[in-house]
Structure 1
Amino acid sequence: MNDPKISVIIPIYNAEKYIRKCLNSILLQRFPLEVICVDDCSTDSTPDILKEYAKNHSNVTVLRNDKNLYAGPSRNRGLEVAKGEYVHFMDSDDFVIPGSYAKLYKKAVANDLDMLKTRCIAFNAKNGLPLRKQYRFARFKSELYDTILDFHNRPEDLYCINVVPWNGIYKRSFLLEKNIRFNDLFCANDRSFYVAVCIKAKRVMITRPSFVFHRKNNGDSLVGKRAAHFDCDLNSFRLCEALCNDNNVNDKVRFEILEHELKNVFGWYKIFNEKGTVLPEHKFAIKELFSDDLIKYFEAQGEKSKWSAFKELIGNE
């Protein structure tokens, strides 16, 4: 296809159980798009499945990393070769609701949007049942749907939605011109991406229609994996703080970004604590991250910040 409207970029690693359903949900949509599959050194039958789809579908491109890069750099690699006016960063175990791309593209183009976010449907991977409160933007104000938003004026509203990359589409030229990319962390590689988009975008919109069915599995294996890579959450905080500093954001924006990164760090720490997976280096790493100046910053926010509760949690360890 010479002129795709949307490029769907999918980082893939050992997804043989889910990738067919994912790709079929995309390719069955009657809309001009391209699919860029970035295989991050899969060791199961995923490479063979991808070759099959590339052979049978002219709009499917398969790239394979020379070494394991993780999701962020894999998404970046797909972005570099994408041709669509907009891009969608899809997860390999999710699937798209029919008709979604046409609806989102029409709204994005009509409003010249840098980013269009919408709601998704999460379901429990173990039993297939929907998780009603996940990715539904319960705290987002109804009157703000389908209006142009500016993060610098209303940062609190754009943190009422999820920071994940797969619940929206992004103007490709905007990402390239503003040099916005995913970081290379094993996990938490999307948080700094969202912050960068919000800081640099001029035209953002949130709409209601559901877009993606997202597979959730909150098992102990995930907790163990996140605990082993807790440094990623700490480094994500540092990256987001640097974005605030480099872009000279206003005080309101800075607080929203840093407070939500703080909640992410300690949210995971609380889970690790409850599951007994806190590693000896966690507490030391947190003390290293939160300098005296940063602690004073959060303490100065008073009850607006969760710092006091987080400080109590760490102090009781």
Structure 2
Amino acid sequence: MNMVSPVVSVVIPVYNGDDYFPTVLECVLNQTLDNIEIIIIDDCSTDNTNAYIGDVASRDPRVLAIRNDYSLGAGASRNIGLSQARGEYIIFLDDDDIIDVDMLLRLYDNAKLNDADVLVFGSEFINWNTKEVIDTPWTIRNDLLPVASIFSSCDIKKDFFHAFVWWPWDKFYNRERIIKRGLRFQEIRTSNDLLFTSTQMLLANRIAVLPNVLIQHSILRSGSLENTRFKSWECAFEALSGLKQFLVSHSLYEHRKNDYINYVLSFLKWNIDTISGAAFEPLFIQSRMFILDLNISESDVYESDLVNFLSDLISLQPVDYLLKSRTELYQKVNRLEPVLNKTLRRLNETSDSLVKSNESKANKENMIRSLNQENSLLEASLCSEVKKNMDTEVKLSNALNYIKSIEASKIWRGTKGLRSIRKWFL
């Protein structure tokens, strides 16, 4: 390991990344900022990942290779990386993130210039299978942020937990200030980054934002934690409970109570709407119990769709929620299709008219590019809603099959008389 103190520490936990991690690591090794350390924590991979990391570390003194004796998960692995880090600043990457070659240099220069506790920067998604790049402007909610270029968490007056997304890889931290606060990642399988990233921001006195897109986060990769949340859906509640405990212990809960409530609603709604399989029903029921414990009033909720979700979660059974979701998704698809067709017609008509017009080539290209972007956004929205619809159909089918299996059981048939009697007393 290089004995010269690095200015940036890059921490990357990895598990069974033999077929993709070399490409990711090359992006980090080739950074224009050379004075860095790269701490790679192999979480007890069963493929050739560890051998690859060891080989790279033997050839590049900037790389520190660590192997867990047994699988600890991403949260614990990040904590191990943090404990070994020496850089002035630190960033936590996932093992399938693709970064710009100048990313670390630009982040370091900006963070130093602004003496930032945390620097948040632009990102986008890349579909692991199709390589399609997807814009994610919602990861930095400028409408919720103050106009000042440097601000503290106190300057975000409302809806704090929606100002950013609580994953670690689009945030650049002053390492010493993390150490002083004593905060670490939760050591749970999924949602382990929520508590760490949100609380670091809550305690930050100097937050800076760099809107430039410098990283692509891979989505829909088979086997990723993101795609296997159904195995550990309970972690969502551990993360939310940990956040509430932090707010209470730091005397922040009363001030941020409504912000927390609204985040809980949107976070649970996202989990319910995107999870599949047998985990859906217990997640739905546990979400209801969690929400009821918070004693939420509709007047506490900021957005109408979350008001509707609150009502549905409390009043509907899981299968009824799916039926309602299916109807709403069909309606969205039916609304989007004519809009997309109209945009396509506009694109074709504009292209034809521009060919015949005297507009400059640059103007023509700009107008066509603008329409193509509009069309792409609509197509992405439509595809997203169609996929949600398909997922809902699968969940609904599973739920209905489960109900049928219960109704066909001997116990259900044998208790029919008791259920009839029970109705008279309700």
**Are residues 1:204 and 2:218 paired?**
no
Tell me whether 1:60 sits opposite 2:59 in the alignment: no
2:220–2:227: 8 Å Cα contact kept in structure 1? no
C-alpha deviation, 1:139, in angstroms: 3.9
Could you say what secondary structure the match of 1:44 adopts? coil
Residue matched to 1:161: 164
Q: Does residue 303 of structure 2 align to residue 301 of structure 1?
A: no
Match of 2:286 in 1: 285
- CA distance in 2 between counterparts of 1:125 and 1:4 reads 32
Match of 1:172 in 2: 175
Q: Distance in 2 between matches of 1:269 and 1:28?
A: 40
Number of the residue aligned with 1:110: 113
Secondary structure of 1:211's aligned partner: strand
Separation in structure 1 between the aligned mates of residue 23 and residue 52 of structure 2, nearest angstrom: 12
Asked if 1:40 corresponds to 2:43, the answer is yes
Structure 1 residues 64-107: Cα deviation after superposition (integer angstroms, max 9, x where no partner): 11121110110010000100000010111112101111111011
Higher mean displacement: 41-50 or 255-264: 255-264
**Match 1:181 to one of 181, 184, 209:** 184
Structure 1 residue aligned with 2:89: 86
The whole-number CA distance in structure 1 between the counterparts of 2:31 and 2:76 is 27
Residue 286 of structure 1, CA deviation: 2.7
Residue 316 of structure 1 aligns with which residue?
A: 316
Distance 1:123 1:280, change over 3 A: closer
Q: Taking structure 1 as reference, are residues 244 and 56 closer, same or farther at Cα in structure 2, changes over 3 Å only? A: same
Q: Per-residue deviation at 1:220?
A: 10
Q: Secondary structure at the match of 1:188?
A: coil
Question: 2 CA distance for matches of 1:102 and 1:232?
Answer: 35
Mapped partners of 1:123, 1:265: distance in 2: 24
- Could you tell me whether the CA contact under 8 Å between 2:97 and 2:218 is conserved in 1? yes
| Equivalent residue letter for 1:285 | Q
In 2, Cα distance between equivalents of 1:310 and 1:222: 27
The whole-number CA distance in structure 2 between the counterparts of 1:301 and 1:285 is 21
Q: 1:277 to 1:104 in 2, by over 3 A?
A: same
* Residue pair 1:145, 1:206 contacting (<8 A) in 2 also: no
* Aligned equivalents of 1:259, 1:202: Cα separation in 2: 24
The Cα shift of 1:18 comes to 1.6
Distance 1:304 1:249, change over 3 A: farther
Alpha-carbon separation, structure 2, partners of 1:223 and 1:147: 32
Asked whether the equivalents of residues 266 and 310 of structure 1 are also in contact (C-alpha less than 8 Å), the reply is: no
Q: 1:111 corresponds to which letter in structure 2?
A: N
In structure 1, distance between residues paired with 2:258 and 2:123: 27
What is the deviation of 1:291? 4.3
Cα deviations across residues 44-77 of structure 1 (Å, max 9, x unaligned)?
A: 1101110111011001001111121110110010
2:13 aligned to 11, 14, 30, which one? 11
> What do you get for the CA RMSD once the two structures are aligned?
2.5
Larger Rg: 2
Q: What is the CA distance between 1:126 and its match in structure 2?
A: 1.0
Runs of 5+ unmatched residues, structure 1: none
1:123 CA drift (Å): 0.9
Q: Could you tell me how far apart the structure 2 residues matched to 1:49 and 1:146 are?
A: 45
Separation in 2, partners of 1:12, 1:256: 33
Partner amino acid, structure 2, of 1:230: W
Aligned to 1:238: 241
Alignment of 1:206-221 (within 5 A): 206-217=209-220
Amino acid at match of 2:63: V
Shift of 1:167: 0.6
Q: Which range moves more in the overlay, 159-168 or 248-257?
A: 248-257
Once the two structures are TM-superposed, the CA of residue 163 in structure 1 deviates from its matched residue by 1.6
- The alignment partner of 2:107 has SS state of helix
Q: Is 1:140 aligned to 2:142, yes or no? A: yes
% identical equivalent positions: 24
Structure with the larger helix share: 2
